[in-house]
Structures are given as C-alpha cells and as structure tokens.
Amino acid sequence: MMRKCKNYAHKWADNTCSVRYLRKRLPIVGWLPRYNLEKFQGDLIAGLTVGLTVIPQGLAYAAVAELPLQHGLYSAFMGCFVYCILGTSKDITLGPTALMSLMTAQYAEGQPAIAVALCLFTGLIQFVMGILRLGFLLNFMAVPVNSGFVTAAAIIIGCGQLKLILGLKDVRKPFIWNIYDTFRKIPQTNHWDLILGLISFITLLILKFIKDRDWDKDRDPNVPLTRLQRAGRKAIWLVGTARNAIIVLVTTIFAGILYVYNIRPFTMTKEVPPGFPPVGPPSFSYQHGNHTVEGEEFFTHLGAGVAVIPMIGLLENIAIAKAFASKNRYTIDATQELFALGIANTVSCFFGSYPVTGSFSRTAVNSASGVRTPMGTIFTGSLVILAMLFVTPYFMYIPSAALGAVIIASVINMVEFEHITEQWRVHKPDVFVWVVTFFCVLFLGIEYGILAGVGVALALLLYNTAKPATKVEYTNSYPEIGIVRLDSGLYFPASDSIKATLHSAGLSEEPYKPVVMDLTHLSHLDFSVVRALGRSVEEYDLNKTTLYFACLREDLEEKINQAHIKNLRCFPTVQEAVDAIVVESTAEGDVHQPMLMTELPSDHVVISSDTGEALPNQSTVNKETSI
C-alpha cells in the first residue's frame, strides 16, 4: 500500500512539475516566446478597438446592475490581465456583460459590497469546479433552456432601460411592476430625453447596419478595389465598431456645452469618482440607514446568486470561447477556461469588480479586428485604466438617455425568437421547454426560470428513458415466435415499461408465444433492469413458454449471469435463438413448420399486436410502441 502511494506521488510530481503541465496551466508560456512585431500590431489595434467599446458599455452595464457607474469600469480591466496569462482563447475578452449585470442587480440589491462579494464567491466556485472537473454540469442546461433564458433576460434588460429613454423616476425593478410603472408614468416623460434617446438608438442601428452590410455582394470580384475604396471601407468598419463610444462622446460633448451655458434639458448621469479603484478584499458589510449589515445577515443577502451566477458565467464564457475557436480553427481547454475565469473573478473582486465573464459582442469585435494572441486584452485593460485616471470627471455630462440607447441596442441581438420555429421543426417538445423557461424567467425570476426550464427538460428526458421505443416483430413462417427489438438503451426508469412490453409480446393472449429479445442496442445494465428481465423470464416459465435473449454484449452477459436467473439463456444472434426455439418446439410437436431455419425468411413481416394479422402490402413493417 505504501509503495502504491509512493508511486502515485512520484507520478503526480512528475506530471505537475513538467514543462508540458506548465504550458497547459499557463498558456502564455506557449505563445509568448513566439511573439513578434506583426502579432503586436494586430493585438494593439484589436485591443484599443475593444477598449473603445467596453468603456461606454461598462458604464451602461453598471446602470443595469444598479451600481455606481465606476464599478462598470472597475470590472473591465483586471479580468483582461488575468485572462491574458491563463486563457486559451485568443478572441475572448472578459468584463461586464448584460446577463451578469442583470443577475447582479437581482442579488446585490444596489449594494456595491454585495456585488463585490458575489464576484469573490463566483470566482472561488468556478475555480473549485475547474479542480473537480465539474464543467459537465453545464450539459444539463439544454439549448432551449439557455435560449429561453437569454431571450427573457434581453427583454427584461431592454424594458428596464425605457425609464432612461423616457426620463422617468421611481420605476420599480420587478418586470411586471417595471412595465406597469413605465406606462403609468408616460405623461411625465422628459421629451428632450426621449428625442435624444430615439436619435441615439436609431443612429446605433444605422451604424451597425452599415458595418455589417456585405459591400461585395454586387461587385465584380475580378475588379480590384481602389485605394480610396479600401480606406472608405476601413473607416466605415471602424466607425461602426466604435459606434457606442462615438454616440456617448458626441452626446456628452453636446450636453456638456449646454451645461456650460446653464441649459440642462437632459437627465444626466451621476458624478463618477476619478482615479484607480481602492484595492482590497471585500468588506462583507455595508451601511443600511442607521444599521450596519454584516456577518450572517450579510451572507443571507447573497442568496441563490452564489450558485446561479457562477454557472451562468461559465456557460456564457465557454459557449463563446468554443464558438470562436471553431470559427478561427483552434482549440480551447474547457478545464483551463474554468481556472482562468475563476481566478479572473477572484482577483477582480479586490479592485471593486462585480462578476465578469466573456462578452459575445466584444469578443466578436476583437476577432474581427484581427487579434492574434491574448495579448490584445492587455491593451484593452490599459485603455480602461487610462480612462479611469483622466476621463472620469467628464462622465457626469453623459446623458442617461444615451446610455439607455446603448444598452437596448446591445441586447436587441440577444432576442432569439427565431429558435422557436427551428425547435418546432426539429423536436417539438423543446418548444415547451423554451416557453416554460421564458415565462418563468420573466415573471418568477432568473433562478426560478432556469430551474423550471432544466426541470422540464430533465422530466422529458426521463420520460423518454422510462418509455423506450420498441418494435415487436413476428414472421410469416413462424408467427408463433415474437422478436422484441429495442431502439435505445435500458435504464432503471424503464424497468416496468420493458416488463409490460415483454408480457404484451408473448403473453397477452392464448396460445402464448415464445419471444426473443434483441439486446443489440443495450449498453448499460443496472439492478432494476436485471430484476425486471428476471421476473419476465419467470413469468414466461410459469406460463410454459420461452423468453430468450440475443446479441447481448459479453460484459453485460457476464453481469446478468451474476443475478442467477433460473432458465436464463443468451444467444450470440437472434437467428440462433430462433433456431433453438424451433428445435425445442419441434421436439414437443408445437410448431407447424418443423424445418430448422438457417436464416430468417424473406417474407419476414410484422404482425399487428392488436389483431394478430400480417400488415398488408409490406414485406417488412415495424410496429413501434412506447408502452
């Protein structure tokens, strides 16, 4: 025993202290020695472009999270630095996102201390999940669940920003009350905010359309572009990519000029404290009126967010990383992504960040900008720091309506109603899962919506597992012999169903028929299934007829033999099982055609289990049942 432990320790030490393991856990060691000026140029352009996108988005998402605006910037730089060292995707950029901001708003209750604590626990849980390799848990969140959740979240976020576009105050946060208060207070609309918000929103959509337009669609591919055309396209792409920053900059300058002349028609954002965030661990306490919330009371406020936010963050980050890795033809290490995201959140919380994850929009910008390595995130984070140090005093002139327009234009692409028609064509029950998730997220809350969606998806999966599809076949030559074929594996929920199927195949009416069960598709056996098969054998034996098994895998046959089922017989093929029944029945004088078959006859058909008659005009017909 001691020798085995010693050998295991030596093996573990050799693996963890090797250069290969170091490259696996510190991916920067693999690509940094090959870094060159060409890659630097691509990373610099991409990093600065993403930085121009994340600064206005960070401010806007902090408003979604119902936190002071500076926390949007605090969340936008440290994750970039950590991911550069630990991440395996060249395209991913970490920072505040719409989903993380929405969930932070739900659980942090507008308290920065709770938001920062959530960031810490999110990082720790994600890191532990990486150590324990628990990423497979994300597989239980089916695509319809994720699609319904994301669509509902986009609607909640977008509707929550209408108050900024309309210039309304004292609008309640829950979705139903938010819609109610917004419509009730429409007469109080600030018309200047509405005009500015609509202009900003429409401009953002136009710039996005121009950027995404296929300018080569009607162009002759044999005619090269002129220098002026190439420059024009580059300018269009750059303006379209930096559209959020441009809208915020232009509206801020306009509002600032009016402010200087004491003209204040717009609702402005609150003053943003300049400078680098205070560095330190979460305080785990905050002041609520004259009462200090701390200790056990503080941790109760974290609620289900401690479990929900890490899972959603992982799901979002890994889905984005896989999508862009496939698009750009490289691979990622999912386990290493767990480590990178976990450490990024853990470190970020010391700089006043709320939970962060990969951003799809900024990752798309990063990839389209020609990023070559994760070094691009260094330039993004550095630009955010420069903005905090030198530009934050001017953020107070940003009109709230402009930030609202930026948020709505950003989340509008998250709405995935088109998935409903696709799911209806492919697998109709998935539509039910999508609808349940969507409405539960809207009206009950994020965690209840996700749990409801996952629960319904698992219930449908268990139902299909408990009711496996089977085919009960008979032959014209030997209608006394039934063949039961499985279309899928057997698991314990199917125990009663398979017993009923076997009973119906041979014992539903007299004279009773011998049956062969084809177990070709069986890949798993548990005690419940073995016991159900054993009882079926006993039932056939009591009724003086035969139940044989065929095509059972060798390891599973050994397992079923351990149950010591009386009169259990397994055959390598269905043909051999049928031959054995024919021989036994011939000896007893029960079979009308006593010749020994060498192969199943060509007139092999399915006999209806309802009438016992051959189905007409078919040489081979399968009757599917889900008993």
Distances (CA, A) of 294 to 105, 111, 287, 304: 19, 13, 9, 18
pLDDT of 475 reads: 67
pLDDT value for 381: 94
Decide if 86 contacts 341 (C-beta within 8 A): no
Range in 50-54, 200-204, 553-557 the model is least confident about: 553-557
**pLDDT computed for residue 620 by the predictor:** 36
Each residue's pLDDT tens digit, 451-478: 899 899 888 888 777 777 777 877 666 7
pTM of the model: 0.75
Cα gap 594→580, rounded to integer Å? 12
pLDDT, position 618: 36
Give 606's pLDDT tier (boundaries 50, 70, 90): very low
Specify the fold of 470-625.
Transcription Regulator spoIIAA (3.30.750)
pLDDT-derived band at 53, boundaries 50, 70, 90? confident
Query: How confident is the model over 238-264, as a mean pLDDT?
Result: 88
Nearest of 473, 478, 405, 489 to residue 196 by alpha carbon: 405
Query: Residue 53 in contact with residue 362, Cβ under 8 Å?
Result: yes
**Tokens matching residue 110:** 């507008």
CATH 3.30.750.24 domain extents, the chain: 470-625
- Give the pLDDT score at 600: 45
Distance CA 62, CA 151 (A): 20
pLDDT > 50? residue 604: no
96: tokens are 């505040």
All residues at 6 or more sequence positions from 331 whose CB lies less than 8 Å from its CB, including other chains: 88, 325
Average pLDDT of the residues of the chain: 82
Q: For 554, phi and psi rounded to 5 degrees?
A: -60, -45
Residue 1's pLDDT band, with cuts at 50, 70 and 90, is: low
Higher pLDDT, 528 or 282: 282
Most confident residue range from 92-106, 290-304, 357-371:
92-106
Q: Which of 161-165, 287-291, 383-387 has the highest mean pLDDT?
A: 383-387
- Residue closest to 433 by CA, chosen among 446, 416, 449: 449
Question: What does the pLDDT look like over 391-411, one tens digit per residue?
Answer: 888 888 889 999 889 888 888
Select the more confidently predicted residue: 135 or 424.
424
Which amino acid does the sequence have at 296?
E
- Flag whether pLDDT at 504 surpasses 50: yes
CB 503 within 8 A of CB 472: no
Q: What is the pLDDT of residue 587?
A: 65
Our measurement of the distance from residue 44's CA atom to the centroid of its chain's CA atoms, rounded to an integer in Å, reads 31
- Which of 391, 360, 405, 385 lies closest to 73, judged by CA? 385
pLDDT score of 2: 63
Summarised one tens digit per residue, pLDDT across range 412-449 is 887 888 878 888 888 888 899 999 999 998 988 887 88
Residues of the chain by 3-state class (helix, strand, coil), percent to 5: 60, 5, 30
Whether the bond into 511 is cis, omega within 30 of 0: yes
Rounded percentage of the chain residues whose pLDDT exceeds 70: 88
> What are the CA-CA distances from residue 108 to residues 22, 112, 269, 302, 374 (Å)?
37, 7, 21, 7, 31
What pLDDT does residue 16 have?
55
Given a cut of 80, whether residue 310 has pLDDT beyond it is yes
Distance CA 608, CA 482 (A): 11
Strand partners, 516: 483, 548
Q: How far apart are CA 277 and CA 275, in angstroms?
A: 6
